Chains A and B, each alone.
Chain A
Amino acid sequence: MATFRLNINNTAQEVEVAEGTSLLWVLREHLGLTGTKYGCGIAQCGACTIHVDNRPMRACMLQVDNVSDGQKIRTIEGLSVNGTHTVQKAWIEAQAPQCGYCQSGQIMQAVALLEENPNPSTEEIKTYMNGILCRCGTYMRVIKAIELAANTQST
């Protein structure tokens, strides 16, 4: 057991867990930030996507030891107050989610995309989002939502 300090959604957090514990379990089971999901544990599904210093990362591949409190972790819970981020609003407008389980990962990846590239082409969207699986098959609407969000941002 060791104590780890993290900066999550602009809040300093302290957890005591075994060294090598995955950041995904730390977020979900120790800190209760359950919007970030477990889907595969091996960087194949993207359900656990979070931002570390604004870059999309798979929480299941990060060990708590590898993240310092100088790095800013952002989860779906930290994206906005009351789900009002442009991307979240576009998601509602497109009625994108079905079961919803993959959607935090979709949204976190999409936010990172639009921060990097505010006006992506459909092909760029598909490429950037390719790591995030959705078994319900909401891909068409996720693409639409990203396009909606990009349009809103640019007007």
Chain B
Amino acid sequence: MKNKAQTDPVEGMSRRKFLKSSGGVALFIGASGMLPHLISCKDSNALKKQLQKHPITAWVQITEDGEITIYNPAAEMGQGSMTSLPLVFAEEMDADWSKVKVEFSPQETDIYGSEGWAPGSKLMFTVGSRTTKSYYPVMRKAGAQARYVLLSSAAAHWNTPIEELRTEDSFVIHENSNRKISYGDLVPYLSMPETLPDLSESDFKDQKDFRLVGREIPRTEIPSKVDGSAQFAIDLRLPQMVYGVLERGKLNAATPTLTNEDEILAMEGVLKLVPFDYAIGVVAKTLEEALAAKKSLQIDWSEAQASGFNSQDIYPEYKQIADSRKKGDAIVELGDVGQAMKKAAKVYEVDFKNDYVYHAQMEPLNAVIQVAEDKKSADVWVGSQQGPDTKLGVPDLVGVPPEQVNVHLQYLGGGFGRRSMNDFVNECAILAKEMAPLPVKLIWTREDDVSYGTFRPLSLQRLKACTDAQGNISGFSHCVVGDGGRLVTSGARNDHYDIPNQLVEWRETSHGIRLKHWRSVGHGPNKFAIESMLDEIALDQSIDPVDLRRKLMAKSPRALATLEKAAEISGWGSPVAEGRAKGVAFVEHGSMGTGICEISVDRNTGNIKVHKFWIALDAGVVVQPDNVKAQMEGGIIMGMSSVLKEQITIVDGRVQQSNFHDYNLLRFQDVPESIETAIIPSTEIPEGVGETATPMVAGAIANAFLKLTGKRLRHLPFTPERVLEVLNA
């Protein structure tokens, strides 16, 4: 019976009440006292609507047997949000973690968002490694509020002053009278306090009292990922479900003309052909029938903007753009670089280049959407990194109001930035509208995922640095040539190197190639350029690369601490085995860290072997240390993969790769012996860790290579052919 309020929202609503506190926080509680819900929301109307739609909706629910359900508002793509955010909540609530279950929250930004880019705005968007940082205060406050309701209810129940009570592990305790009551047993007595204090930092737990945050807590969803039960959107099966696939060609924005429509429609299982501006969609009864039809499509493609573009031939043009007197957009201007160069004792100038790379998330893009028979509502099952529009563009495409679109977030088989774009969801919505009320599962084949990929842009970095008479770096200019704005410029600024005159400039190009954020975005190429440049200067001045950075970081104690720690754990400066060398690189991307690697090079094959990697990381308060280490390991492996192997090439606008046989990823045989992470203890607010390790790799490897061979790797990826070319030059 006690679930009645959950399953009957309308009846439930009438038995619930709302309160608003000064901080614009509404507390919602089942008047039956059995299922308290806590929600932070500015608009109580939105809240009411939300509860009507999702009766089991809130930050937390407690049942009489003490089971606690906490809602995770962020996407889970392997980074651990399914554990980290609820853990912060449970810490403040003083919940017994063994009784906690975690579920995804509904996709309702006003209720479940964290602070967005603009102050005061709310956002549900799992990107830019923002999850832990942006939700840390939200989850702490919500958890502390839940605890306050429990405390005040116990105070009323026992008729004791609330100040005399404390909580521990899902119990409220009154030492004076030697009484304790579990959260579950308290449920029948739960009542709404007259006012809900606007809890803030000083009301939260002291870090030294943390029992969960900072401890080795296994991730909640891992058991479901070892028995095959974790559900990804691609795993969904619904009654009467049909299958959609699209043929999008290899040239972005080319328009298709189908020349054998009748033949396709006559094929076994084919239900419908749906034309798109840039593709032909096929819906069939089974996946194999849809794929067979896709293969048989005969399409004439138009030319498009990218026609004639050859990616590997573009660099001379990029050099000319960098040479040109025409300035681009200044992103950072500090002091006067021009003056510094004029007065310099020595000027260094180097170009760095990087080819396109592809996300290669292991779960190809897909979605399942069902539009209701009356076309007035839609259900969406998707692995998405969410977005400013948590309904992912479906309402407009289906022609229904946003509140009639229910997004059921599924686990993501990798995101890396690819799933923060809704192209695949939109395609599925269009097919689902055509097929209503049949649910449509849209699947991108791996070939679709590669050929119609969205890539980290190709770019050129022209770095110019100068030193003064004392050998100090007095000016640093970083000109990025490439397409995509922040996609190519992120990470070009130096926040922790004390160089008085700095300039970051972007010079735009455009080739009509699909581009997207790719784990750590522009940081990969830009940190590669910056860190390599520093080592070239160090070599020229005969200074140790760590010493050079030490000097530059003198005013950034946190950055410096990561450098010192990494040097310490890697044994920097002590002798290295014959034929090996170490290289260092520093990165800030929310959190900051120094990475050091040890490599050797096979001079016959051009193969670079990374033997070891060490990282020292300052990420503020670390919620899940082991998970942070996992992110470092994964980030380094993905970095090594992109730096040593990955390359998308374009010929006449057409993507040349199509699957993992020609788009190589790092495999087991290439992994280092060890990746060791030291976490710097900190009480500062948590910073994202997902994108800090990846951009360390290129600089660290290039610098180790320079040390080992005296030669310079300046073009990503460092494929064996390129390495041989550099060695033999």
Task: Tell me the A residues contacting B by CB distance below 8 Å.
Answer: 17-18, 21-22, 25, 28-30, 32-42, 44-45, 47, 75-77, 79-80, 82-83, 88, 91-92, 95-104, 107, 125-127, 129-143
Partner among A82, A91, A126, A136 whose Cβ is within 8 Å of the Cβ of B78: A136
B5-13, B229-237, B524-532: which lies at the interface: B229-237
* B416 lies within 8 A of A41 (CB): no
Residue of A nearest to B232 (CB): A101
Decide yes or no whether B288 CB sits under 8 A from chain A.
yes
Q: What is B's interface to A at a CB cutoff of 8 Å? A: 77-79, 218-219, 221-232, 234-235, 237, 243, 268, 286-289, 360-364, 411-416, 443, 445-446, 626-627, 630, 633-638, 641, 659-661, 665-669, 671-672, 674-675
Q: Chain B contacts of A142 at CB under 8 A?
A: 668
Interface CB pairs A-B, < 8 A, 28: A18-B286, A18-B289, A25-B286, A28-B235, A29-B286, A35-B227, A38-B234, A38-B364, A82-B227, A83-B227, A92-B223, A95-B630, A97-B222, A98-B77, A98-B630, A99-B362, A99-B413, A100-B78, A100-B225, A100-B230, A127-B668, A133-B660, A136-B414, A137-B636, A138-B633, A140-B675, A141-B633, A143-B671
Given A17-B288, A99-B363, check contact A107 B226 (CB 8 Å).
yes
- Measured CB to CB, the nearest residue on chain B to A75 is B228
A17 to B288, CA, bound (A): 9
Question: Chain A nearest CB: distance from B648 CB in Å?
Answer: 15
- B530 → chain A, closest Cβ, in Å? 24
Shortest Cβ distance from B414 into A: residue: A99
Cα distance, A5 to B137, chains bound together (Å): 56
Report Cα–Cα, A95/B563, bound state, in Å: 28
A-B contacts besides A35-B227, A136-B634, 8 pairs, CB < 8 Å: A34-B237, A39-B446, A41-B659, A99-B78, A100-B78, A137-B634, A137-B635, A139-B668
Chain B positions within 8 Å of A32 at CB level = 237
Contact B228 A135 (CB under 8 A): no
Do the beta carbons of B668 and A103 come within 8 Å of each other?
A: no
CB of B706, distance to nearest CB on chain A (Å): 25
Q: Closest chain A residue to B639 by CB distance?
A: A137
Quick check: B268 and A34 within 8 Å, CB to CB? no
**Quick check: B364 and A135 within 8 Å, CB to CB?**
no
A95 to chain B: which residues have CB within 8 Å?
218-219, 222, 626-627, 630
Q: Judging by beta carbons under 8 Å apart, are A101 and B222 in contact?
A: no
Cβ–Cβ < 8 Å partners of A33 in chain B: 228
B223 cross-chain contacts in A, Cβ below 8 A: 83, 92
Q: Within 8 Å CB of A75, what residues of B?
A: 228
A36 nearest CB neighbor, chain B only = B228
For the complex formed, measure the closest distance between the CB of B113 and the CB atoms of chain A, giving whole angstroms. Answer: 23
Q: Determine the chain A residues whose CB is within 8 A of the CB of B229 once the complex forms.
A: 35
In angstroms, Cα B229 to Cα A80, docked, is 12
CB distance from B520 to the nearest CB of A (A): 13
B222 touches A134 (CB 8 A): no
Given A77-B227, A95-B219, A137-B638, decide whether A29 and B416 contact each other with a Cβ distance below 8 A: no
Closest Cβ neighbor of A134 among chain B residues: B362
Q: Which residue of A lies closest to B634 (CB)?
A: A137
Q: Are B235 and A34 in contact (CB under 8 A)?
A: yes
**Contact indicator A97/B227 (Cβ below 8 Å):** no
User: A28, A92, A135: which contacts B222 (Cβ < 8 A)?
Assistant: A92
A17 with B286: CB separation less than 8 A: yes
User: Does A29 lie within 8 Å of B287, measured CB to CB?
Assistant: yes
Contacts of B445 in A (CB 8 A): 41
- Knowing A75-B228, A127-B669, A133-B660, the reply to whether A139 touches B237 (Cβ < 8 A) is no
A140 touches B225 (CB 8 A): no
Q: Which residues of A contact B412 (CB under 8 A)?
A: 99
Query: Complex formed: what's the CA distance from A47 to B363 in Å?
Result: 9
Q: CB-CB < 8 A to A138: which residues of B?
A: 630, 633-634, 637
CB–CB A39/B288 < 8 A? no
**Which residue of chain B has its CB nearest to the CB of A77?**
B228
With a cutoff of 8 Å between Cβ atoms, the chain A residues found around residue B660 in the complex are 39-40, 42, 44-45, 133
What B residues does A98 contact at CB under 8 A?
77-79, 630, 634
A contact residues around B288 at 8 Å (CB): 17-18, 21-22, 25
Check A88 against B671 for contact (C-beta < 8 Å).
Answer: no
A48 to B672 Cα, complex, angstroms: 26
- Residues of chain B within 8 A (CB-CB) of A139 are 637, 666-668, 671
Q: Is the CB of B362 within 8 A of A44?
A: no
CB-based nearest A residue for B234 = A38
The 10 closest A-B pairs by CB, nearest first: A35-B228, A137-B637, A98-B78, A101-B413, A100-B225, A99-B78, A137-B634, A76-B228, A34-B235, A83-B227
A103 cross-chain contacts in B, Cβ below 8 A: 225-226
Contact A25 B227 (CB under 8 A): no
Taking the nearest CB of chain B, how far is it from the CB of A64, in angstroms? 10
The reply to whether A99 and B77 contact each other, CB–CB distance below 8 Å, is yes
Q: In the complex the two chains form, is B675's CB within 8 Å of A101's CB?
A: no
A104 CB to closest chain B CB, in angstroms?
Answer: 5
| Contacting residues, chain B, for A137 (C-beta < 8 A) | 633-638, 641, 666
Asked if residues A100 and B411 are in contact (CB atoms below 8 Å), the reply is yes
From the candidates B268, B286, B363, name the one contacting A101 in the complex (CB within 8 A).
Answer: B363
Closest B residue to A78 by CB, please name it: B228
CA distance A99 to B224 in the complex (A): 11
CB contacts (< 8 Å) of A92 on chain B: these are 218, 222-223, 226
Q: What's the minimum C-beta distance from B597 to chain A, rounded to whole angstroms?
A: 14
Q: Which residue of B lies closest to A82 (CB)?
A: B227
Contacting residues, chain B, for A107 (C-beta < 8 A): 226
Most B CB within 10 A of own CB, among A82, A97, A132, A140: A140
Provide the bound-state CA to CA distance between A104 and B228, in Å: 6
| A97 with B667, Cβ < 8 A, contacts A38-B364, A44-B660 known | no
Option from B79, B235, B362, B666 in Cβ contact (under 8 Å) with A45 = B362
Contacts of A99 on B, CB cut-off 8 Å?
77-78, 361-363, 411-415
Smallest CB separation, A8 vs chain B (Å): 13
Expressed in whole angstroms, the Cα–Cα distance for A47 and B235 within the complex equals 13
Instruction: Give Cα A104–Cα B231 distance, bound, in whole angstroms.
Output: 12
In the bound complex, what is the Cα–Cα distance between A99 and B484 (angstroms)? 28
The residues of B that contact A37 with a CB separation of less than 8 Å are 232, 234, 362-363, 413
B78 contacts A140, C-beta separation under 8 Å: no
